[in-house]
Amino acid sequence: MNEIYIKELKEYSRENILKLMNKDSFYKLMENDYIKKVDSNHFKFNFVGVIIVDNFIIKCYPKYIPNKDNIKSDFAQVMKVIKKYKNLYEDFSFENENIEDISFNKLSMMIYFLEDYYENGVYTKIQKTHEINGNGEIDWDRTINNFDPIIKDNKPYYGELYTKYKINDLYDYFRLLHEYIITECSKFLEKNEILELFDLTPVELSDKTRFDFGEDDYILERLKKQLRVEFNSHKQKLLKAMHTFVSEINSFTQEDYLTLYGTGSYHVIWEDICSQVFSNKLNRVKHVINKPKWITRDGFTHYTSKTFEPDIVTSFGDTFIILDAKYYNLTFNNDKLEGEPGLGDITKQYLYQRSLEEYRKDKFDCVKNSLLFPKYNGEIENLGYVDLEILSSLDLEKIQIIKIPAGDMNEYYLNNQNKLNLLVDLL
């Protein structure tokens, strides 16, 4: 595999891209909207994460990372953040899904198989049987029905007892198939240097080949039949995943495939990072924000279901804090302003404060309103504020401009740390 590092949303010329990959791969990424056209000769990648296309592994890193000096460690951290976000919000349970309708993403499913193995081991088929005078629980019904007791002092005594015994079938078809799949996933991820991105270790459980299990149709039919008699929810999930893997297995061996693990909406992850690290309490105050009402000419009033909703509402001591996570590369100095949010974003931030002002006055002495932008490293810094004179009559707090080191925020997020105190000192 040819490894390529690409910066999210950076403009690349067609010539530069074709130096990195072939035309077929380039057009395949264009067709799937991972590459966006800027003009006739310039393009940008609208993605953060890993893309494997044909014989290329493309690692797309976030736009706030300025260069590739520490790209391996920076990118590994970002992938752990993406993985945590996916685990929190993306459902991989297959509950209530028809086995034929499960969507398939190769990398996501391979990572699932390995992580599930680390946590739960391989698929097991337990056979319940009996033995005589074993160490298990005594089966009194079977003992009484099959053995004659010795009567002494009008009490029955049994010289032999049936005891319950469980056998873990190490040669069960589905266990062996699961071991084969885990091994194949591990080999693929190791070969493409994906294991290290997620702190996964190689696993080799099987030396079997796919053909040891029969033709694909035979394997799929057996999995369907087993699913009908399996009532353990985790095992049902495994069987469904195995069925999907086998039904798509041909694409694993082709050289002209496309698979990925990541997101085209990293701004949503930045919002979640800020929300967790700065202890979002929005759900506690949503109910006090007024909803728009529509009043008909004959006097009927209708309320909409949606209203203003800031990214983050929190508090520290007697200070009420409204925050909005902005995934922009903001450049702010004496000479120029670049990468700033639009007027609508600024206006909304003022309106968030106005909509919560009555609630705030009852409970807190002061209010702070801020926009949170990522930067690569360094200290948290306050760059100044945004002022919109047209709204000055509302007597609202100016909106502070805060830049936060994304690497530190990623670590806080991964370790479930609350760091609101670091922000409060700057407001």
Euclidean distance between CA atoms 222 and 272, whole angstroms: 42
**Contact predicate 245/181, CB 8 Å:** yes
Same domain? For 271 and 328 the reply is: yes
Same domain? For 109 and 221 the reply is: yes
| Closest to 76 (Cα-Cα) out of 327, 383, 368, 414 | 414
Q: Of the ranges 81-85, 115-119, 199-203, 252-256, which one carries the lowest mean pLDDT score?
A: 252-256
149 pLDDT higher than 60 = yes
pLDDT of the residue at 291 = 83
Same domain? For 110 and 188 the reply is: yes
Sign of CA dihedral 102, 105, 106, 111: negative
Same domain? For 96 and 81 the reply is: no
Residue 287 lies in a domain: yes
pLDDT of the residue at 148 = 83
Taking residues 52-78, report their average pLDDT: 94
Residue 259 lies in a domain: no
Residue 154 lies in a domain: yes
Of the chain, the percentage scoring pLDDT greater than 90 comes to 56
Binned at pLDDT 50, 70 and 90, residue 336 comes out as confident
Tell me the whole-structure pTM to 2 decimals. 0.84
96 pLDDT higher than 80 = no
Residue 260 lies in a domain: no
CA 251 from chain centre, in angstroms, equals: 24
pLDDT of the residue at 86 = 92
pLDDT of the residue at 95 = 56
pLDDT of the residue at 250 = 66
Give the end of a domain, one of 209, 226, 254. 254
pLDDT of the residue at 427 = 83
**Contact predicate 314/321, CB 8 Å:** yes
Q: Which domain, by its residues, includes 55?
A: 2-86
Same domain? For 323 and 349 the reply is: yes
Same domain? For 322 and 332 the reply is: yes
Same domain? For 63 and 161 the reply is: no
Euclidean distance between CA atoms 81 and 79, whole angstroms: 5
267 pLDDT higher than 70 = yes
CB atoms within 10 A of CB 195: 21
- What the block records as the tokens of 319 is 């200070």
Taking residues 201-216, report their average pLDDT: 94
3-state secondary structure of 285: helix
Same domain? For 227 and 297 the reply is: no
**Contact predicate 367/350, CB 8 Å:** no
Give the end of a domain, one of 86, 116, 134. 86
Same domain? For 283 and 401 the reply is: yes
What domain count does the chain have? Answer: 4
Residue 332 lies in a domain: yes
Contacts of 263 (CB under 8 A, 6+ apart): 47, 48, 49, 82, 85, 269
CA 4 from chain centre, in angstroms, equals: 23
Same domain? For 109 and 235 the reply is: yes
Same domain? For 117 and 249 the reply is: yes
The mean of the pLDDT values for the chain is: 88
256 pLDDT higher than 60 = no
Euclidean distance between CA atoms 374 and 64, whole angstroms: 7
pLDDT of the residue at 15 = 95
Same domain? For 12 and 105 the reply is: no
Helices and strands (H, E) in the chain, number of each type: 13, 20
